[in-house]
Amino acid sequence: MSARVGFIGLGNMGRPMASNLCRKGFAVIVHDVNQEPVDHLRQLGAGCAAGCREIAENSDIVMTMLPDSAAVESVALAPDGVLAHLNPRGLFMDMSTIDPLLTDRLAAAAAVKDIDFVDAPVGRLASHAARGESLFMVGASDAAFARVKPLLDAMGTTIHHCGAAGTGIRTKLVNNYLAIVSCAFNAEAIALSQRFGLSLEKTLDVIHGTTATNGQLKIAWASKVFKGDTDPGFTIDLAHKDLTLIVNAANAAKVPMPIGAAARESFSAARVSGEGTRDFSAMADVLCDAARIPRPRL
């Protein structure tokens, strides 16, 4: 008998991920505070629950994909939440990007109830999730990882088992630190090149032939801001949220993060300017606009 899967959180990432589970034959029951994505999943064959308690009582594995730590804490630890009502020997997998200290608390609370816990934050974008091409960074015991691997395979193409519970979210924070901070320093470098009156094409040719290049500049920006496309894949608001998590987690671990703190303030300034809903590659436009420099375009 296949596992009954509960899925809580049908936002930009959760909706396509849950949709892929339905399309690939899993028995799924869903819940979200917004009705529209619930109706969409119902059309794909999913069951629908009124709340987290109903999800937990009718699932063997519960998955969450939620926007922040507060939402995850409420869904998981409230009296009507998942861990209070999921049966022993069930499994709870959180795929959100949250405070790793909360992840540790969830793992400990699950262990008390003999519930397996997995943290599996997601890499890549909503467009990848829609195609079933997500990347997962998984923290879990070997046995728990084996239980969720078929689900992860249904939603993604790249699954990294990073270690025990808690290692998935910490790997995600390290990865996102590099991706987000590189947007901040790329924006400054590109603005400087345009103020100098340099050819953007030639400048990029030089950069990509040296160790100065990076994936954001070479891959992401080439298909986003340099083409004038700043529709959100990963927003400036989310980048700011993740940098806040990263700096706070580093502070808790007694790791100085002065560059991260400075980069976070760059994203703070962009949000104050009303740019928070744009793609985070739009940091190039934000900085150029502030300095009255033509926006960089190929």
Query: Angle 35-43/14-23 helices, nearest 10 degrees?
Result: 20
The residue annotated as part of the active site, out of 24, 113, 149, 172, is 172
Asked if 172 is an active-site residue, the reply is yes
Tokens read off for 219: 């891959």
- Bridge partners for 138 per DSSP: 161
Rounded Cα gap, residues 200 and 137, in angstroms? 35
End-to-end, the C-alpha distance of the chain in Å comes to 54
Could you give the residue numbers annotated as active site?
172
